[in-house]
Every structure is written in C-alpha cells, then in structure tokens.
A = this chain, B = another copy of it.
Amino acid sequence: MQIITVQPEAIFQALADETRLRIIRLMVTTGEECCLCELVDSLLEPSYKLSRHLKILRQAGLLSSQKEGRWVYHRLVMEASYLEPLHATVQALPDLDEVYSADLKRFHERLCLREEGRCRVGILT
C-alpha cells in the first residue's frame, strides 16, 4: 500500500519511457495484475530490464507488487485522486506504431496459460 507521497514530477517521469508506458498501458487496458515473466513474454524484453522499470513504477506510486511464492504480481495502484484521470490519459494515447496492440495480443495469449488465474509456466521465449 502506498502511504508515502510522491513528488508530482516523479509520476510523469515514470511514464516518460516507452517500456514503462507499455507496461502501464497493458495494465490500464486490461485491468489485470501480472508477474514479470508474463510481461517478458508480452513485451519481448529481457527480465532484468523490465524488473528495473517495474521498480521505478512502484517507487512512483503507480504500481504495487506482491510476492506469491516464486512469482511477484504487479497491479495498478488506484488510491489517489489523480490516478483515475492519469489512467484515462494513458488509455487515450494514440498507438502510433501498433506497439501496444501487439503487446496486448501477446499478453492475452499469455494469460490463457494461467491455471486458476495464476501464472504457472515461467518465461517461454
């Protein structure tokens, strides 16, 4: 839970990167929580890279993370008045290079592999 208050600039700084925007966009669009390996297979980026970007998003108060055995589930934080319009902004962004739609397609495919709503397969690619 995010009790700490974040500098407003840090919120926008967190979204000022293509990879992080892809992560947030996926979660805003689907409303799903997900683990790192699911993001690796959806964005086709190395885990160490995404892990670091997830940390930045967490520190900006945009995501919260919860460990479940070997997996860490990340989900959107909703408990701040500016987050609702911020999510709406992200959803209204144009998908210039069709990057987001491709991410979303792979993400949906990846979610099909869950067992009882939980990731059980690890990184595939």
Q: Given the complex of chains A and B, what is the CA–CA distance between A17 and B93 in angstroms?
A: 21
Of B5, B16, B82, B89, the contact of A82 (CB 8 Å cutoff)? B89
Number of identical protomers: 2
Report B-chain residues with C-beta under 8 Å of the C-beta of A81. Answer: 92
Place the interface of chain A in its size category.
20 to 34
- The A interface is mostly helix, strand or loop, or mixed, namely helix
A69 is an interface residue with CB less than 8 A from chain B: no
Q: List 26 A-B contacts (CB under 8 A).
A: A5-B94, A5-B96, A7-B18, A7-B96, A8-B21, A8-B93, A8-B94, A9-B16, A10-B16, A12-B12, A12-B13, A12-B14, A12-B15, A12-B16, A12-B21, A13-B13, A13-B16, A15-B16, A16-B16, A82-B89, A82-B92, A82-B93, A85-B85, A85-B88, A86-B89, A89-B89
The 8 closest A-B pairs by CB, nearest first: A82-B92, A13-B16, A85-B88, A12-B15, A12-B16, A85-B89, A85-B85, A8-B93
